[in-house]
Amino acid sequence: MFDAEGFFAVLDGHRIQRDVTWRQIAKESGVSPSTLTRMAQGKRPDVDSLVSLLAWSGESADSFMVVDGEKPVTTDALANVTAQFRKDPRLPPEAKAAIEATVKALYEQFAKTRKAK
């Protein structure tokens, strides 16, 4: 099964990072603005729209696959997130360090919570 909600959240992250509007995403990716509106309402995109949005975002569909109700665990998720912030030229070094510390602390807190259940 495809995690459409997670994919939309990642698209929103790309939108914020690239400083573009949803209408610009629609134009650049070749999907209709109504497709993005439906996705914001929790609907899944059609296959052609999904492929276009994956290409626009540079993401892989594999990252959003859910098996037996569980998202696959990515052992390097924290490293990937940290690397992405470190590569962003718009963030000054102190902002990168603050974001990294916050993300690590939250990750550790919630990973422990999940293990305890």
Cα gap 22→15, rounded to integer Å = 7
**Tokens at 7, concatenated:** 């994919």
Return the SS3 of 67. Answer: strand
Cα gap 61→7, rounded to integer Å = 9
- Read off the pLDDT of residues 60-74 as tens digits, 9 standing for 90 and up: 888 888 877 666 555
pLDDT, position 37? 97
Q: Is the pLDDT reported for residue 59 higher than 80?
A: yes
Closest CA to 22 of 7, 2, 4, 40: 40
pLDDT band for position 110 (50/70/90)?
confident
Return the SS3 of 65. Answer: strand
Q: Is the pLDDT reported for residue 48 higher than 80?
A: yes
Cα gap 50→38, rounded to integer Å = 13
Q: How far is CA 65 from CA 3, 61, 68, in A?
A: 6, 7, 10
CA triple 35-67-59, angle to 5 deg: 45
pTM of the predicted protein model: 0.66
Residue 45 DSSP class: P
